[in-house]
Amino acid sequence: DADVTQTPRNRITKTGKRIMLECSQTKGHDRMYWYRQDPGLGLRLIYYSFDVKDINKGEISDGYSVSRQAQAKFSLSLESAIPNQTALYFCATSDLFRGRGSNEQFFGPGTRLTVL
Partner 1 sequence: QKEVEQDPGPLSVPEGAIVSLNCTYSNSAFQYFMWYRQYSRKGPELLMYTYSSGNKEDGRFTAQVDKSSKYISLFIRDSQPSDSATYLCAMSKSNSNSGYALNFGKGTSLLVTP
Question: Using CB under 8 A as the criterion, which residues of the chain lie in contact with partner 1 when the complex forms?
Answer: 4, 31, 40-43, 45, 48, 50, 56, 58, 90, 92, 94, 100-110
Q: Given the complex with partner 1, which of 39 and 79 has the nearer CB atom?
A: 39
Q: Output the smallest distance, CB 102 to partner 1, in A.
A: 4
Q: Given the complex with partner 1, which of 27 and 82 has the nearer CB atom?
A: 27
Q: Which residues contact 7 (CB under 8 A, 6 or more apart)?
A: 21, 22, 111
Q: Given the complex with partner 1, which of 16 and 28 has the nearer CB atom?
A: 28
Q: Output the smallest distance, CB 73 to partner 1, in A.
A: 17
Q: Output the smallest distance, CB 81 to partner 1, in A.
A: 22
